[in-house]
Chains A and B, each alone.
Chain A
């Protein structure tokens, strides 16, 4: 089967600084790929490039990005619209910043349905919003839908953001460190949720993180980048237990381990 997302030789630069240097990356249908790298390695820019959302000053110099066989680079805003938030959904770290603070959460999820699934009549949209909020494990969908973002906890908002991402019935979910800011208990629950959604909907995932533990838990395959270059690629098992690149070994060694026992104090 051809890959759902295929990035070839992607090169991004800001002035004379090369930020992503000839990156190759593929995500197959239903596959979960983790993009691992330290801060500043070009992970987030790669995700932004897929949706044509590069920050000002950063431009694509060369390379192609194909989604379901269609070249996305060079598309104008209008042609990109069905992909953004529709066939490709983006979830990022700061759920609080993703929502409009003065609109109720339910209305913001409904908006995505209105744009990307016009076949759903207006009177059924509300039902669909509640169904989505329940699907991401929110106990009181009615109350959550009526809430303003500031009335919900970080974990709840992150779930709402995932519900909003699912509202457009995406084939690919791009996730940029969506759980980094959350408590471990909440983090673990969100990761379980995403895994089950993936199984249920046949969703493909491109999950971006510097946290190896998170990636190992939900991905099939890992791509490791450093300074905008791919330094390693393989199954989670291969990359974790038989890393070939020095940069990967360094990342694995730096992961803080839960120590049980010992005398306490710095290692």
Chain B
């Protein structure tokens, strides 16, 4: 296996589950339980499992949105020292956020409805001080072209785009700072099969061209089986099994994986 861009070692994530009247946490729920996992550089690792298995909590930990995490979450940027994302001082996060981008399910609501789309797409560039003035607009149009959207539509508002197009805008925005790792949380689940296919082809092409690594979270096994290089199966916060996608689907070792594959197979045509 190639070198790891991201490695979780004994990663746990928990949530406050009930508060006292004074706002103190009364109890905790464990969403991710001592997980060991590797995202290989330049490849796609899929994370599958049913709702509530902890896959989205893991994604949030990777982008620093998960406060109560323990263990180690090692990020190895190109040409830089290894960093433990769980022990990162707040100041250092800004630099890391430039290198790790999150795309999530509902980009329609993630884009500011009152902002022309080019401004949304270019926003990360402005935030990180990577471009300004007219350069911002030029870069936004470039990014739109990269995800096969017409740059001439740059002045439109999000509600003038279809669901699939808004997902492309989300990807364009995520690509703005030239990230090394893309975290995709259920990004094609809500889309119809035609649009789904185009978005997956686009991601594969971006990966081939830029060598970006992808952590692909999905509950759709059929999509994963034709897209990810490696697949990890999670259940109740624990890792059930992990391996090369083809092998894992052909010869699942865990009963739970077999169950998931069988359920997906009954929906095959």
Question: Which residues of A are interface residues toward B (Cβ below 8 A)?
Answer: 38-40, 153-154, 180-181, 183-188, 191, 210-214, 216-217, 240, 250-252, 254-267
Q: Please give the distance in Å from B237's CB to the nearest CB on chain A.
A: 16
Please, could you name 5 A-B residue pairs with CB atoms under 8 Å apart, sorted by A? A184-B219, A259-B226, A264-B231, A265-B44, A267-B227
CB of B183 closer than 8 Å to a CB of A: no
By beta carbon, the residue of chain B nearest A41 is B192
Q: A211-B193, A213-B268, A257-B226 are in contact. Are A183 and B162 (CB under 8 A)?
A: no
Q: Looking across the interface, which residue of chain B has its beta carbon closest to that of A264? A: B245
Q: Could you tell me the distance in whole angstroms from the C-beta of B79 to the nearest C-beta in chain A?
A: 26
Contact of A261 among B219, B249, B269 (CB under 8 A): B249
- Output the least CB separation between B91 and chain A (Å): 37
Whether the Cβ atoms of B229 and A264 lie closer than 8 Å is yes
Q: Which residues of A contact B189 (CB under 8 A)?
A: 181
User: In the bound complex, do residue A250 and residue B194 qualify as a contact, i.e. CB atoms below 8 Å apart?
Assistant: yes
Residues of A within 8 A of B269 (CB): 212-213, 216, 240, 252, 255
Q: A185-B259, A254-B194, A254-B196 are in contact. Are A39 and B228 (CB under 8 A)?
A: no
Contact A257 B222 (CB under 8 A): yes
Residue among A217, A256, A261 with most chain B CB within 10 A: A256
- A254→B249 contact, CB < 8 A: no
Q: What residues of chain B lie closer than 8 Å to A185, measured between beta carbons? A: 50, 259-260, 263
A264 to B230, CA, bound (A): 7
Choice from A211, A240, A259, A267 contacting B249 with Cβ under 8 Å? A259
Query: How many Å from the CB of A175 to the closest CB on chain B?
Result: 15
A264 and B197 in contact (CB under 8 A), knowing A154-B51, A259-B226? Answer: no
Task: Please list the residues of chain B having a beta carbon within 8 angstroms of any beta carbon in chain A.
Answer: 43-44, 50-52, 162-164, 189-197, 200-201, 204, 207, 219-223, 225-231, 244-247, 249-250, 259-261, 263-269
Determine the distance from Cα of A78 to Cα of B217 in the docked complex, in whole angstroms. 47
Residue of A nearest to B248 (CB): A264
Closest residue of chain A to B163, judged by CB?
A: A39
Q: B-side binding surface: helix, strand, loop or mixed?
A: helix
> A68–B226 Cα gap in the complex (Å)?
46
Given contacts A240-B269, A256-B220, A266-B227, contact A184 B195 (CB under 8 A): no
- Bound Cα distance A211, B164 (Å): 16
Q: Which chain B positions have C-beta within 8 A of A265? A: 43-44, 227-229, 245
Give the docked Cα–Cα distance between A180 and B191 (Å). 10
- B29 to chain A minimum Cβ distance, whole angstroms, is 15
Interface centre among B44, B200, B266 (most CB of A within 10 A): B266
Known interface pairs A261-B246, A264-B247; 15 further A-B residue pairs with C-beta atoms within 8 A, sorted by A's residue number:
A39-B191, A181-B189, A181-B190, A185-B259, A185-B263, A191-B267, A211-B267, A213-B268, A258-B222, A258-B265, A259-B226, A259-B249, A260-B225, A265-B228, A266-B204
Query: A266 contacts which chain B residues (CB < 8 A)?
Result: 44, 200-201, 204, 207, 226-227
Cβ distance B224 to chain A, nearest Cβ, rounded Å: 9
A46 to chain B, nearest CB (A): 16
| Nearest-CB residue, chain B, relative to A261 | B250
Q: How far is the CA of A181 from the CA of B219 in the complex (A)?
A: 10
- Tell whether, in the assembled complex, residue B225 and residue A258 are in contact, meaning their CB atoms are under 8 Å apart: yes
CB nearest neighbor in A for B198: A254
Cα–Cα distance between A116 and B68 once the two chains are bound (Å):
50
- Pairwise interchain contact B197-A254, C-beta atoms closer than 8 A: yes
